[in-house]
Structure formats: C-alpha cells, structure tokens
C-alpha cells in the first residue's frame, strides 16, 4: 500500500531503513528535528538508504560514495541553523 512516511535524521552520516524503492519527497524541519518524507510502498521489503547533513558553510567531504542527491533544507532554532540534506547513491 502506498503512503507517506516521515524519518527523523540528525546532522551526521545516517543509515535509514525504508521500504525498497521509496521516493524521497523533501527534507525539512519539524519540532526542531530534521526530517525526510518519502512516498513508500509498505508491502516492499526494506533497504538501507544513506544520508548526510551539512550545515551552511561547512565542508562537504566526499567519504560516502561517488554521488549524492540533494533532498531539502531544514531551518532549526528559528532559522539560526540551516542544514542541507543529501542522499548518497552509488555507496
């Protein structure tokens, strides 16, 4: 069954279990947490997805794989902290 799930992530490398083939919709803040929303098929087995979060002005190191896809931006602490979420592909 298709539905939308929310996954809470933190500003460092993170592996998230999602149903296989989940389509990422966006990353944003909610209640001072960084979240990723994805359209998922709940009948699929899960797979591990790899994310990393970079603060504005922080070094974007290349340690997770060959490519990454931008997912979204989260503003925490009233916009004082801005984080950019990427998913690594080709890991």
Full pLDDT tens readout for the chain, 91 residues: 999 999 999 766 688 999 999 999 999 999 989 999 999 999 999 999 999 899 999 988 776 556 889 999 999 998 899 999 999 886 5
Domain residues of the chain, as ranges? 2-89
Count how many Cα atoms sit within 13 Å of the Cα of residue 45 in the half-sphere of its side chain.
Answer: 1
The pTM assigned to this predicted structure is: 0.87
Report the alpha-carbon distance of residue 2 to residue 5 in Å, rounded.
Answer: 10
């Amino acid at each position: 069954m298709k539905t939308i799930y929310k996954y809470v992530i933190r500003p460092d490398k993170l592996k998230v279990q999602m149903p296989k083939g989940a389509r990422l919709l966006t990353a944003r803040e909610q209640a001072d947490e960084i979240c990723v929303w994805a359209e998922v098929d709940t009948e699929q087995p899960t797979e591990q997805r790899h994310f990393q979060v970079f603060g504005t002005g922080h070094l974007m190191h290349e340690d997770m794989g060959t490519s990454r896809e931008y997912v979204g931006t989260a503003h925490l602490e009233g916009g004082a902290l801005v984080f950019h979420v990427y998913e690594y592909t080709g890991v």
